[in-house]
Structures are given as C-alpha cells and as structure tokens.
C-alpha cells in the first residue's frame, strides 16, 4: 500500500477529518488532500510526516521510512528491499539454531536457504540515480524587481519539474529566467534551481524576495555596511540596486543551472 493510502486509511479509522489533521499539523487542508490522493510528485517533507506519525498514532519513524523509500529509484529500492529480506532471513535462521529449534546443516538445505546461497551476490555495477524532481514554480526577472506569484501551488508542487541528481533539499524550487540583466552568465529561458538550505555569502547569485511592496528579482548580492544590501546585475547595462536589509525576507542561492541552448 502506498504512503498516501496508508495515511488516509489510518485517518479514517481514527475518525479524523482533513480539517482536523490540517489544524493539528499546521499544513493546509488542500495539501493534506494531495498527499493522501498522491497528486504530489514526491513524498511530503519530514516535518509533516513526523506530525502525522504522532497525530495518527503510527509507530515513530514508520512514515518517514516509507517516504524515504519511495524517493529512491525503483531499481535501488528493489536492491535495498532484497538485501533487507535476505538479512532478515539469515537472522531468523541463526536465532532458530541458537534456540535449539533446528540443525544448521539441515536448515541450510532448505529451498529458501539454497536460493540465497546460489545467488551470485549483490550487483556491483553502478546504479543510475534519476534524481529529485524539483518544481518549476514561476519565472524570475533578471531585470528590475517585479511582483512574484507562486500560483497557489502547495509546497513541492507545480505544473512542470526538473530532475536534479544529488540534491537533498526538500524545499528546493526552480524558476525560469526572464530578462537580460544577468548576462552573460545567465540568459532568458535558463532554468535555475535554488536551495533554501544553502548558505548565502557576498557574491552569490540569488533569488531575492522583498516586502513593502512584495517583489522578487534575481541578482548577485553583496552585503554592504550600514544594513544595506547591493543587488548587482552581471550585465553592465544595468545599475546596481541598493536596498535596506529590512526589506529582504528571503535570499535563496542558485545551485544548479539548466541552460537554454535554442537562442
């Protein structure tokens, strides 16, 4: 049974509504629904799963384990589950011998034991990892700051996605570049992936959220003195923007770029 179905079955058994779960977890009712109906491409984050384990009275760590397993590529998951099954079998066999419930030589002649003994062993060939699906939530202006809308998608959801091998930030997101202020390094149409978990330093290229008014832009950032931040375009045609740090409510470092080659 899939993760979403397990969660829904337990919620229904406990006679809890989606509103009940939403109120107690702090996550929206629509998002809880998309988790149960499996309309999100990836399992939910650890924070929600930990809360669901407590609210729905699951064994601690169970939902986390299932979710982490579902994130694995199918071939890797199959290899892991096969290894776990084999390990469990040998532990049970040893336990039976220790407890005097069987003769070792006879137990080794069983069909199941022979299947394991005849196996050529783990596949040592390198496994190809597909990578995490990161949502492309909107476009980011490489020009003057403009209002930004995530289009109401639940966290981790979108109409389009990009695969990112070796990326482990569950809150990573991608946007499409619009404008030319970050040329020649970035061009219109490039897809950039940003990681909220990555540390930000002066000189980094960042997705920047601002308040009063709510705006966003994509620039190289520099931390100046006197509580100001310099948003520096890479294109010399554009002037830098100096901004009070109090206006900034989000700095997200660009960590991956997919270049648009059809120019």
**pLDDT tens-digit map of 244-254:** 888 898 899 99
Q: What is the pLDDT of residue 206?
A: 93
Least confident of 6-20, 98-112, 114-128: 114-128
Q: H/E element holding 107? A: helix 104-107
Tokens of 163: 């695969």
Mean pLDDT on 31-57: 86
Q: What is the pLDDT of residue 233?
A: 94
Q: How far is residue 192 CA from its own chain's centroid?
A: 16
Least confident of 44-48, 123-127, 178-182: 123-127
Q: Exposure pattern of 24-49 as b/e (b: 16+ CB <10 Å)?
A: ebebeeebbbbbbeeebebbbeeebb
Secondary structure (3-state) at 255: strand
Tokens of 59: 């064994």
Q: What is the pLDDT of residue 147?
A: 46
Distance between CA atoms of residues 120 and 117, nearest Å: 8
- Taking all residues of the chain, what is their mean pLDDT, rounded to a whole number? 76
**pLDDT tens-digit map of 154-192:** 444 445 677 776 676 778 888 888 888 999 999 988 999
Mean pLDDT on 64-81: 66
Tokens of 115: 């299947």
Tokens of 168: 């482990």
Mean pLDDT on 19-43: 86
Q: What is the pLDDT of residue 63?
A: 87
pLDDT at 2 over 70: yes
């Amino acid at each position: 049974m899939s993760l979403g179905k397990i969660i829904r079955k337990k919620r229904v058994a406990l006679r809890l509504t989606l509103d009940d779960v939403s109120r107690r977890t702090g996550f929206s009712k629509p998002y809880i629904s998309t988790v149960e109906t499996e309309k999100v491409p990836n399992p939910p984050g650890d924070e929600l799963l930990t809360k669901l384990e407590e609210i729905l009275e699951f064994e601690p760590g169970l939902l986390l384990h299932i979710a982490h397993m579902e994130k694995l590529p199918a071939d890797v998951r199959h290899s892991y589950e096969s290894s776990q099954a084999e390990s469990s079998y040998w532990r049970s066999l040893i336990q039976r011998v220790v407890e005097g419930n069987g003769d070792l030589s006879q137990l080794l002649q069983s069909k199941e034991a022979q299947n394991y003994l005849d196996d050529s062993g783990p596949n040592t060939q390198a496994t190809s990892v597909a990578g995490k699906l990161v949502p492309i939530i909107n476009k980011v202006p490489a020009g003057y700051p403009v209002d930004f809308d995530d289009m109401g998608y639940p966290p981790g959801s979108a109409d389009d996605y990009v695969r990112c091998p070796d990326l482990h930030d569950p809150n990573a997101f991608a946007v499409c570049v619009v404008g030319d202020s970050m040329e020649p390094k970035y061009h219109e149409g490039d897809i950039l992936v940003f990681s909220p978990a990555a540390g930000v330093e002066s000189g980094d290229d960042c997705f920047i959220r601002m308040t009063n008014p709510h705006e966003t832009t994509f620039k190289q950032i520099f931390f100046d003195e006197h509580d100001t931040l310099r948003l520096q375009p890479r294109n010399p045609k554009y002037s830098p923007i100096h901004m009070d740090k109090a206006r900034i409510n989000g700095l997200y470092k660009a960590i991956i770029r997919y270049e648009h080659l059809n120019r």
